[in-house]
Amino acid sequence: MTKENSNEPLIDSNKLIFGIGQVQQITGVSGRQLRYWEEQNYIAPIEQQKGTQRQYSFHTLFLIFHIQRYLTQGFTLQAAVEKAKEFEKQMPVLRTFIKAQLQGVDVSNERSVIDFGFKNDERKQRVYGIVEGNKTYFKVEDLKESK
């Protein structure tokens, strides 16, 4: 049988493991901070024994990256963690929606068009996301009756 879901991720993110040194290079967060954040239970390395070197999952790396971003924006560590975790909760929802709705993207320098498919099951309107430089907006197109 052929796989139903033919568009699975190319790589298994669960197999992407990073040492604390790599995390420092990638995120710019110091080892001292990483250990402190861990101590505060904001982040957690992959389960391991006492004294051994820490290993971080891709998911945790992503979380660390976002916490750092919010810190840079001026949020306190606690607030940054909350915002980062909140964002992580939203991601699956966004992913599900985009995966289901995205029909195609027509890229162009002046005006790119994102096809979000039909507005609803009535299939009488098509929704498009328009990108013109830095400006973005939606456009709903009424479809001709296919009598």
Partner DNA sequence: TTTCTGACA
Partner DNA sequence: TGTCAGAA
Q: Does 16 bind DNA (CB under 7 A)?
A: no
Q: Does 50 bind DNA (CB under 7 A)?
A: yes
List CB contacts of 30: < 8 A, sequence separation 6 or more: 24
Q: How far is the CB of 26 from DNA (least distance, A)?
A: 11
Q: Does 19 bind DNA (CB under 7 A)?
A: yes
| Residue 35 backbone dihedrals phi, psi, to 5 degrees | -70, -35
Q: How far is the CB of 53 from DNA (least distance, A)?
A: 4
Q: Does 20 bind DNA (CB under 7 A)?
A: yes
Q: Can you read off the two tokens belonging to residue 132?
A: 């013109």
Distance CA 17, CA 45 (A): 10
Q: Which stretch binds DNA (CB under 7 A): 15-23, 98-106, 119-127, 138-146?
A: 15-23
Among residues 71, 113, 127, 131, the one that binds DNA under rule CB under 7 A = 71
CA-based R_g, the chain, Å = 21
Contact code string over 77-96 relative to DNA, x by CB under 7 A: x-------------------
Nearer to DNA, 36 or 65 (CB): 36
Closest CA to 98 of 114, 109, 85, 86: 114
Angle of helix 58-72 relative to helix 20-27, nearest 10 degrees, comes to: 40
Name the residues that contact DNA, by CB under 7 A: 19-22, 24, 30-33, 35-36, 50-54, 71, 77
